[in-house]
């Protein structure tokens, strides 16, 4: 069975948590496409060469979830040659046998516009900044909540304003605002959408 769930959205909206839960619930393979760009960003050197020579070991680095890696990912993601180098890998993963969940910023619009389910997961910048700040340690974090909010807004502007594959919901995506939802509630909404699409297909 070929069945793709495309989950897009800005940083810290909850798309990673939702994607992993959906993949586990339905037995689908999962790809965090942002990790590809994070790996390219932290690899250093020429970003295009880094994207073309990405290895499984690069995807296992322990520093991929840092705030710095996220900023590096956003910077290299605006380079068309980097996006082209990673495009085919993502498309093949999306249409693999047995179902796949991909989360990123252009899955439903560019990578897999034919996806059977498209979700755009979002939340207010303030909520997302607080989530990221808590991930970094809250009061013990190396950055203040105000600083993290500035970085979240800068990243949003960069991701939404880039010329190549900007962050935006697909025209047929279901928008899921997680600002007021618990993780379990958000996952339940996403799973219901997938279940309905699977029922339509069968």
The tokens for 55 are 């290895």
Q: What's the pTM? A: 0.85
The confidence score (pLDDT) of residue 88 equals 85
pLDDT of 76 > 90? The answer is yes
Flag whether 197 is in a domain: no
Flag whether 201 is in a domain: no
The confidence score (pLDDT) of residue 45 equals 94
Task: Kindly list the strands in the beta sheet with 117-122, ordered across the sheet, starting from the edge strand earlier in the chain.
Answer: 29-32, 100-104, 4-8, 117-122, 174-177
Flag whether 103 is in a domain: yes
Q: Give 85-143 pLDDT, tens digit per residue.
A: 999 889 989 999 999 999 999 999 999 999 999 999 999 999 999 999 999 899 998 99
- Extract the annotated binding site for ATP: 9-17
Give the domain range for residue 36: 4-188
The tokens for 84 are 């082209």
Flag whether 97 is in a domain: yes
Q: Give 38-50 pLDDT, tens digit per residue.
A: 999 999 999 999 9
Q: Is 70 helix (H, G, I), strand (E, B) or coil?
A: helix
Q: What is the DSSP string of 1-34?
A: ---EEEEE--TTSSHHHHHHHHHHHHT-EEEEHH
Task: Supply the CATH number for residue 123's domain.
Answer: 3.40.50.300
- Extract the annotated binding site: 9-17
Tally of domains in the chain: 1
């Amino acid at each position: 069975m070929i069945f793709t769930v495309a989950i897009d959205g800005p940083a810290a909206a909850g798309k990673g948590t939702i994607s992993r839960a959906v993949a586990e619930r339905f037995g689908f393979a999962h790809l965090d496409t942002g990790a590809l760009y994070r790996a390219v960003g932290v690899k250093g050197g020429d970003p295009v060469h880094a994207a073309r020579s990405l290895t499984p070991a690069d995807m296992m680095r322990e520093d991929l979830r840092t705030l710095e890696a996220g900023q590096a990912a956003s910077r290299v993601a605006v380079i068309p040659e980097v996006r082209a180098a990673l495009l085919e890998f993502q498309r093949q993963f999306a249409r693999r046998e047995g179902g796949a969940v991909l989360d990123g910023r252009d899955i439903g619009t560019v990578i897999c516009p034919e996806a059977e389910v498209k979700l755009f997961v979002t939340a207010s910048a303030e909520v997302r900044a607080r989530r990221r700040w808590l991930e970094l340690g809250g009061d013990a974090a190396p950055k203040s909540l105000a600083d993290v909010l500035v970085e979240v807004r800068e990243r949003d502007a960069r991701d939404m304003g880039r010329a190549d594959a900007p962050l935006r919901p697909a025209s047929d995506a279901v928008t899921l605002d997680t600002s007021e939802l618990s993780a379990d509630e958000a996952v339940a909404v996403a799973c219901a959408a997938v279940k309905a699409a699977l029922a339509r297909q069968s």
